[in-house]
Amino acid sequence: MKFAASTVFAVLPVLVAAHGADNLHARHLQGRQVPPAAAAVSSSSSAAAPPAGSAAAPPAGSPASAPPGSPPGGTTAAPGGTTAPLPSFTLLATNPTAAPLSVINSLQPSSATIPLPSTAVVGSTPTFLSNAPPLPNAALLNPANYPKLDVPPPIDSDEVQQWIKEVQDTGVEIPNLNPTNPGGCPNNTAAAADQTRCWWTCGGCTRSTDITQCPTALDWGLTYDDGPSFYTPNLLQFLDQNNLKSTFFVVGSRAISFPATLQEEYMGQHQIAVHTWSHPPLTTLSNEEIIAELGWTKKIIKDVTGVTPNMMRPPYGDIDDRVRAISLAMGLTPVMWTRISPLATFDTDDFDIHGGLTTVQQVLQNWENILGNVSTMSNGFIVLEHDLFEQTVEVATGYILPDALAHKPPFNIRPVVNCLNRDLADAYIETNNNATNPPAFSAAVSAGALTTTAAPAGQTGGSGGSSGSKSAGVSLHASSLLSLLGLLFGGALALHL
């Protein structure tokens, strides 16, 4: 359908409210992808800068030439008004119907969206999931029963108080860590230097309970964040046409705005996972606020699909041991994206096209850098992409995915749960096989990677904007990492300390 300009501008500010200026600034303080040749030394570099020189473009019309519309070479207006050379890249294949690169930018007018191919039948039972409940009637959802869109939920509701008690009842030791300040690493020098808190944002620290890659080489755990959105159906159409399945990390505020799209993702056998209610950097929140963000998103996904996800991705990758402990206590395994050094991650930076902070050419250069590093890895990988904006969907369906499908040797593109060699049913609490795939929290405790104690009655692990619980702190023990990996994913995950 085609939206009038007035309609689009009335709606889009709501969609992007979850990504405020402070959060975007923090996002840009994190590492980006670097060329393969620089990967070995990037950890000692002061910044993950774009490549100083790129491979020359092939002759026009060759199979690997960049697509028409905005070919490699020339110049473009860089953020800040300066003129910079366009990054050079080559693609094996593109979508013949792709939007020209010259129109994929922050100023492009909104184009027509694609209607959902079908509407899920209320009460139907998914045949692809054992023991799945019938599909709920999303038309009965009452937005008044949920928090306001794109703002942190209050912590004094009956629902949040119940979730706080459930976390308390697990006995998990939540680290006594102060919430971080907005603004990322430069505005949190002490926290960034504290390696014991394992803050992914500043340095890339991960624990055994974090999923960062796929165990098998050439496996790509395909993920999209921040939807559903107006243009998610466009992405779904391409995925369906090419028999591809993905993991969608869903923002709760989007789920209640686009319940039919969420149902279509679920019934299309894509994996649904949690991406918080309002997309804040989680380390900046109190314990109770983190619980509210995760709890409401779990709830709306279950209310729309009938099942509860058991994986989550922290917005901006912003996670430390306090956020990990709460996530695991709520039955959610953290899923990051592949990171090859403290300053280099498998992030296409597609999100920033919409805001004019990067160009589509740079995104495709980032993608080529990812491919170059993939060829040197003995394991599979996970890439950060988004389905929130028209630009992110167009670069995915027009360029990145067609290029990936033409790759030789071929990639095995599938949802994260499948790239971990698990069935799709293991992605949801109601259908998970607990005997072969122990729930995240119990697996961590059984392996000794997560410590619990008998929590005093009424202790919630901090209140309001407080720093956290008064317990000794979570222990993600290095000595228990391998046994945890075996419990969770049959020893398939790579070890990251």
CB 264 within 8 A of CB 236: yes
Contacts of 338 (CB under 8 A, 6+ apart): 212, 213, 345, 346, 381, 382, 383
Q: What's the DSSP call for residue 400?
A: I
Classify 308 in phi/psi space as left (phi over 0), alpha (psi -120 to 50) or beta: beta
d(CA 13, CA 19): 10
d(CA 270, CA 3): 27
Catalytic residue among 150, 210, 219, 225: 225
CB 70 within 8 A of CB 359: no
Q: What's the DSSP call for residue 410?
A: P
Name the one residue in this structure whose structure tokens are 């030791």: 173
386 is catalytic: yes
d(CA 38, CA 56): 18
Distance of CA 191 to the CA centre of its chain: 23
CB 51 within 8 A of CB 37: no
Nearest to 344 by CA among 91, 52, 36: 36
Catalytic residue among 349, 386, 387, 426: 386
DSSP of 290-328: HHHHHHHHHHHHHHHHS--B-EE--GGG---HHHHHHHH
CB 305 within 8 A of CB 274: no
Collapsed DSSP state (helix, strand, coil) of residue 189: helix
270 is catalytic: no
User: Which residues are catalytic, by number?
Assistant: 225, 386
